[in-house]
Structure 1
């Protein structure tokens, strides 16, 4: 009898082990209760012996993914992880792997060893206990009854799959099922045409040439124009007239979560559900010739939210690089500026400082000791060069250049190196607005508040905006400012993230936001 109890205890412990990753976001009474509940609910899977290798292997692999994801963001893998995984090329994967913390690799190794023990224990021990362990029979019977009651509840309440998964997401590993469903919702809505305004654009408010630069992995905490003292990272921009900079709040830790806000002013899921137009859609609708040039890495043959949002309303769309140095975009900008179209919107999608900053500058280019600071300086060189090209091409016409980054990065000492992560420096990103004198005299209403004020001697205070302000400003610049006055527009004032205000985020631990 004692031997049977010992074997039963080993079986239960082995099965519980597969659910341990559910505790990665944090250990609490609730999270431990959810772990036990999940292990109990899914225990009938142990009765399907032919499927056990698939179950054990799947849980082990999912645990590895969650360990790596949590090492960056302190949370389990989600739909943004899936979107990132689907668009990541082999080359980018090779560059990404060195950024994974060493502690995460060690945890993955230990996890796989533990899973090997658990799988071996369950495979060998369960057959002898299935008919003799009363405790296991009671566990399986209770779980069966639980699912029967769930089925009745679903039928009575007439819950659809989305509603059910929203209620059941705390049962590990159903979070991945919900993430997959949310990602599929985005994919299903991807090719729905945007709902464009019926009212015509305000031609009196239209800027002749608008250049929008989409940055990558730039944190405001390393912009010298915003107060950084460790190096003159923005020296090329410091002498440019008619320029304003501020700090805005990113709306996610990675491109999949954050970039949609810069294109449409809302998340990818909300954008597709509401068929929201991007600022490029609105520019084309307003009569602009639209150009989009990208240096981002993604699968050219596979459409996703970002590539489609950039391409669908672009008169000219070109992938001019695949994670090359961002100077590859300069020739395309010069050609677009020379185009005779009376009104143009030009988008440059950069690769910025992602993912290894030491690889994001030309060979031998090290103006600053720190590799990340040098990458910011290189981006500043290009922004200054692109602004000068725009100014030269628009001597008698109104011209506007906008820049912000999708998100920032974790900085030492919060991380071993510069990488994605859930910290304040990942959320605080720079925003730059350059407007020539024609705009300031004729179209000042299109400019955000921080760009209307004269430059101060010190760094500009953080504006109470998210980086969706880029989309809003571009929308105003092409004549659709009235669109932003609608009560259901998400807006960018008084920003926050996941229900937490910016003021609250600043009061938390800067490295973890806990």
Structure 2
């Protein structure tokens, strides 16, 4: 009787150990991930659990399975512990520019100094890992103890489903890249690549500053000067009620446009020359030709050489943007430490940083504010439960239905427009702060534009970056200054505008003068001459 009871209890102990091992893995996954990534990682862990649950006759095979299962668990545990430590200490993901840059810039001596300074915290994490490792070793032995026992039909079906779901997870490249072995192998390679390029980027920045000083730029205006440049991301002007969109997505900006009259300028026909961020920024700050010998120096380098104190305040986390552009500023502030589309950092958190920069005592200031804007995932670009466009069908929804757009595209359009509504709040606040905050009187100017547009069911059943449709290039562009009103505002507003020429207009707002200045590319200049950009698609007319 006791032998029978013992035999019946063995499978229960094995399943209990399996459940404990699964739960322990979940603890470490939750330490390092949030949202749907927790589910994705646990699905990637499923095949290991199914393998442990399957009866194996050979004791030798069971021993090796125990070792490999324990090693697999420890990969997930180490990943969760490393991510948890970075989140706790720096509010950063391991692939953030902060962590990647620190790893690429750190030598053995600095590593030793870091360990000496943080050994207590690291010891606690290591102790937790050691305890988890010891417990998981026992659990792996108990979970895989079944030898010749047969599985019930229900358990066989459950394991088969687990294996199938796990296989689908491994078949998805975005999911597979989250696996600790794949992720940290890629992370190590990224550190090595960055380590090799940091020296080149530093040399690039030194060269740009040297070229700017050689150009000897001056400021053709006396007295204090404060210029703010606000960069959106993935903002299509077709989704702004300021530009005629049916949903009320930009009522705050519309109010300021009405109040400010001829001091405010809304460029009605603005276009990006690029459909993605990195080339767009290179063109904006490089006057359409960054890196070419005949191109002007980087806009930030010119501003610094002319005597401006420069800030770069960002809600992005991008190593290339930081190294190529932001590090040319005097003050660099990146508030977001989670790269990629899944970051939940809201742009409104930058407003305090902008106010601090505006209150700085420097007589001449250039402040670049780099927003996430309406970058995918759209639902992460506005506060939770702040989507007024998903309550009931409206004219936009009905038009999308008439065009045959599927439900998922219509749903993403609702999220995109909610992100636009929040973006309107942030952008309008940057304008209000520019006009009113800070102690320095004198000249003030503000320019807002997006790096590129976004396709969200405008021309195709697609949502996201779109180099193949006009929506990928249609952007907003607005300007304000406290100079004398512009009676020619209507004529300027009707001009087509190129994002890759934005540097020339910014130079005008900064009142920069140097031998390479080209007023014909400044949309504010009397002798502005439009030239259509070379896009990979045909645009029937740039002035509509």
**What displacement does 1:353 show?**
0.8
Alignment partner for residue 251 of structure 1, among 273, 294, 309? Answer: 273
Q: Which residue of 2 aligns with 1:453?
A: 488
CA distance in 1, matches of 2:284, 2:363: 25
Q: For the structure 1 residues 481 and 411, does the alpha-carbon distance in structure 2 shift closer, same or farther, using more than 3 Å as the test?
A: farther
Q: Which residue of 2 aligns with 1:263?
A: 285
Contact 1:402 1:470 in 2 (8 A): no
Q: Which residue of 1 aligns with 2:308?
A: 288
CA distance in 1, matches of 2:222, 2:418: 38
Contact 1:292 1:346 in 2 (8 A): yes
CA distance in 2, matches of 1:420, 1:258: 13
Contact 1:265 1:490 in 2 (8 A): no
**What displacement does 1:408 show?**
0.3
1:75-101 deviation digits (Å, cap 9, x = unpaired): xxxxxxxxxxx99999xxxxxxxxxxx
Q: Which residue of 1 aligns with 2:445?
A: 400
Q: Which residue of 2 aligns with 1:467?
A: 499
Q: Which residue of 1 aligns with 2:419?
A: 375
CA distance in 2, matches of 1:461, 1:243: 10
Q: Which residue of 1 aligns with 2:207?
A: 193
The answer as to 2:540 corresponding to 1:506 is yes
Q: Secondary structure in 2 aligned to 1:317?
A: strand
Q: Which residue of 1 aligns with 2:374?
A: 353
Gaps of 5+ in 2: 1-94, 100-167, 173-196, 338-342, 391-413
* 383-392 vs 196-205, which moves further: 196-205
CA distance in 2, matches of 1:281, 1:206: 21
Q: For the structure 1 residues 411 and 499, does the alpha-carbon distance in structure 2 shift closer, same or farther, using more than 3 Å as the test?
A: closer
**What displacement does 1:453 show?**
3.1
Q: For the structure 1 residues 88 and 192, does the alpha-carbon distance in structure 2 shift closer, same or farther, using more than 3 Å as the test?
A: closer
Contact 1:295 1:349 in 2 (8 A): yes
CA distance in 1, matches of 2:329, 2:231: 15
Alignment map for 1:18-37 (pairs within 5 Å): none
Q: Which residue of 2 aligns with 1:364?
A: 385
Q: Which residue of 2 aligns with 1:202?
A: 219
Please report the TM-score for the alignment, with normalisation by the length of structure 2: 0.51
Q: Which residue of 2 aligns with 1:67?
A: none
The answer as to 2:261 corresponding to 1:233 is no
CA distance in 2, matches of 1:507, 1:473: 22
Alignment map for 1:461-500 (pairs within 5 Å): 463-483=495-515, 485-486=517-518, 493-498=529-534
CA distance in 2, matches of 1:402, 1:234: 16
Q: For the structure 1 residues 381 and 237, does the alpha-carbon distance in structure 2 shift closer, same or farther, using more than 3 Å as the test?
A: same
CA distance in 1, matches of 2:478, 2:451: 13
The answer as to 2:353 corresponding to 1:332 is yes
* 230-239 vs 406-415, which moves further: 406-415
Contact 2:308 2:364 in 1 (8 A): yes
Contact 1:208 1:343 in 2 (8 A): yes
Q: For the structure 1 residues 476 and 497, does the alpha-carbon distance in structure 2 shift closer, same or farther, using more than 3 Å as the test?
A: closer
CA distance in 2, matches of 1:403, 1:356: 22
Contact 2:358 2:437 in 1 (8 A): yes
**What displacement does 1:494 show?**
2.5
**What displacement does 1:368 show?**
3.3
Alignment partner for residue 414 of structure 1, among 448, 459, 463? Answer: 459
CA distance in 2, matches of 1:484, 1:431: 24
CA distance in 1, matches of 2:432, 2:458: 36
1:267-321 deviation digits (Å, cap 9, x = unpaired): 4453xx557422211111111111111111224xxxx3x3234333311111112
Alignment map for 1:415-434 (pairs within 5 Å): 415-421=460-466, 422-434=468-480
**What displacement does 1:222 show?**
1.2
CA distance in 2, matches of 1:495, 1:219: 21
Q: For the structure 1 residues 315 and 187, does the alpha-carbon distance in structure 2 shift closer, same or farther, using more than 3 Å as the test?
A: closer
Gaps of 5+ in 1: 1-85, 91-104, 110-182, 442-450
CA distance in 1, matches of 2:96, 2:287: 22
Q: Which residue of 1 aligns with 2:233?
A: 216
Contact 2:266 2:493 in 1 (8 A): no
| Poorly superposed stretches of 4+, deviation over 6 Å | 86-90, 186-189, 487-492
